[in-house]
Structure 1
Amino acid sequence: MAGMNLFKTFALLALLSGLIVLAGYLLVGNEQGLYYGLGFAALSSFGSWYYSDRAALSAFQAKPTPREEAPDLCDRLERLSDRAGIPTPTLYVVPSESPNAFATGRDPNHAAIALTQGIIDLLPPDELDAVIAHELTHVRNRDTLTQAVAGTLAGSLTFLGRILTLGALYFPMARVGGRRGNNPLVILFLLVVGPVAAGLIRMAISRTREYAADAGAADITGNPLALVRALEKLEDLGQKVPIHGNPAFSPLFIVNPLSKEGMMRLFMTHPPIDDRIQRLKQMAEQAKAEAQTTPAVSSNG
């Protein structure tokens, strides 16, 4: 399952990059546009790799929290990081009553975990451990980088569409799609189809990585049901007390308070909470079954 999720993530990222390259080709109208698209995708990816953590933390006014201000939280983060096998990320606290959490950073050596004041006040120790372990799994799996690159590439397609719009308004005789004038199919792709497709791909990547992070949290804490209880509380209260900040960073959070039902699931940045809870309960049942059979196996040996 983990290998399939990883393959799916890289395939979706490749598809997203391909859309950028195609947009460059359509915008210029010849092979040179392919190189422009590749260059634009590379620059966008590098920028998101290096600056994504600062942008996310500043978007929600997260403040670094030294050990003297929160010794228990810092001890908890260090203990769980050691279990996860990664360096301890920098701890940040978001001054919001909305219960939520996110991880960011370009790699495990440059990572940060942000907890809202609301989630710190709401959850008991075992459930808070499960949430932190979920975010640490994102760091260990480098999902923070994947999400940043996916978000930047998706935004780049929208940016290219805006370039075309300005060109059509102010330079109506500019060459677009290799022909004089504005090719309506090219305009449709760059303004509508491309950005929508990129957004759907980005959300699919986010949903895939959330399942993997839930599984990682269950493994680190050995208590899948603690994360079940935490998710139930966060889903309920998160919709009642929304967090204020740039919605472009919503895929980073452990739960999305704007989740929808029905066809709108395609546009969700997170898997349905019910699906995540069902998977975690299955993990708990499997772990219980294995624990019950282990003594019998050893006694027969």
Structure 2
Amino acid sequence: MNQIKTAALLSVLSALLISVSYLLIGGVGGAITGIVLAAVTNLGAWYFSDQIALASYGAGAVSYGEAPELHDMVQSLCDRAALPMPQIYIIPTDSANAFATGRDPQHAAVAVTRGIMEILTPDELEAVLAHELSHIANRDTLTQAVAATIAGAISFIAQMAFWLAPGRRDNGTNWLLVLLTYLVAPLAATVIQLGISRTREFEADAGAARLTRNPRALAKALQRLDSNAKQLPLDGNPAFAPLLIINPFRGDFLAKLFSTHPSTEDRIAHLLQLEKGELG
């Protein structure tokens, strides 16, 4: 099912990229440009998704000597999950969050913020890391990173076309179409990302619960992280928000309406239900 969702998501996003190029760049040439961009973006995201996401949040690699407890915790979880050890990164910010990225388990990375290591207890941090390793095991990391990269390309083309449009003197320019595409295309790309993002968060939560046998630890962690995000939202490209364990932006009306994550309350309720004996 994950492979079907992945193929569907990438196909729709790629089609949107081609359509935006056709409308804003113009005609067959624009469509060809969109096809080339879609191919290059997919290929580039496939091989460089981890570097793109890590750079977006300013993450830096840390050695065992720099963070031995963090490395040991991840290694222990990997041994239990039969996963190869990912590279470990730390994001130098007090905002508390974490994410995993990489095209497959053999080329994966786990990044945590400085803030998350300061506010969580060891069992809560372990639960968060188990959540991220579940994403790696399910190959959600590739899907989310590729989707974010294509969504970013769509937004870039729309913005570029909008700001360059006044310089185009041909009478054939449909200014209303340019404006609508500028406004709608990035929103449509985000909505498409939401199609699988929420479901995969629930799946990763359940995977963490099974791996640690401690659903309540992740429930407590999510509660702390949600509170922290409201006070210290994480700066970064919104296109990569689906990678993070908690929505990094303030919970206003629009943020909730187009959230990349299920509500924290729903996730906690699901975990507590698993604690009652429904773990597989």
TM-score range, shorter chain: 0.7 to 0.9
Q: What are the Cα deviations for residues 41-74 of structure 1, in whole angstroms up to 9, with x where unaligned?
A: 1111222223332233234332322222332221
Distance 2:189 2:15 in 1: 10
Mapped pair 1:242 → 2:242:
no
Work out which of the residue numbers 197, 218, 222 in structure 1 matches 2:188.
197
Q: Partner of 2:267 in structure 1? A: 276
Work out which of the residue numbers 48, 69, 82 in structure 1 matches 2:45.
48
Distance 1:111 1:210 in 2: 18
RMSD: 2.5
Q: Partner of 1:95 in structure 2? A: 92
Q: Partner of 2:63 in structure 1? A: 66
Distance 1:35 1:77 in 2: 44
| Larger mean Cα displacement after TM superposition, 114-123 or 162-171 | 162-171
The gaps in structure 1 that reach 5 residues or longer are: 174-179, 291-301
Q: State the secondary structure of the residue aligned to 1:92.
A: strand
Q: Partner of 2:243 in structure 1? A: 252
Q: Partner of 1:128 in structure 2? A: 125
The structural deviation recorded for 1:93 is 1.9
Aligned-partner residue type, residue 128 of structure 1: L
The structural deviation recorded for 1:184 is 4.7
Note if contact 1:100-1:254 (Cα within 8 Å) is conserved in structure 2: yes
The structural deviation recorded for 1:88 is 0.6
Q: Partner of 2:136 in structure 1? A: 139
Q: Partner of 2:158 in structure 1? A: 161
Q: Partner of 1:298 in structure 2? A: none
The gaps in structure 2 that reach 5 residues or longer are: none
Distance 1:166 1:121 in 2: 43
Q: Residues 242, 21 of structure 1: CA spacing in aligned structure 2 closer, same or farther, 3 A cutoff?
A: closer
| Larger mean Cα displacement after TM superposition, 79-88 or 162-171 | 162-171
Q: What are the Cα deviations for residues 226-266 of structure 1, in whole angstroms up to 9, with x where unaligned?
A: 11111111111232233344444332221124253656423
Whichever of the two has the greater Rg, that structure is 1
- TM-score scaled to structure 2, two decimals? 0.88
Q: State the secondary structure of the residue aligned to 1:234.
A: helix
Aligned-partner residue type, residue 243 of structure 2: L
Q: What are the Cα deviations for residues 147-199 of structure 1, in whole angstroms up to 9, with x where unaligned?
A: 221112112222322343355322221xxxxxx61135642453222222112
The structural deviation recorded for 1:267 is 1.7
Q: Residues 266, 42 of structure 1: CA spacing in aligned structure 2 closer, same or farther, 3 A cutoff?
A: farther
Aligned-partner residue type, residue 178 of structure 2: I
- TM-score scaled to structure 1, two decimals? 0.82
Aligned 1:167-186 pairs, distance under 5 A: 168-173=165-170, 181-184=172-175, 186=177
Mapped pair 1:220 → 2:222:
no
Aligned-partner residue type, residue 107 of structure 1: D
Aligned-partner residue type, residue 276 of structure 2: E
- Count of matched residue pairs: 280
Identical positions, percent = 47
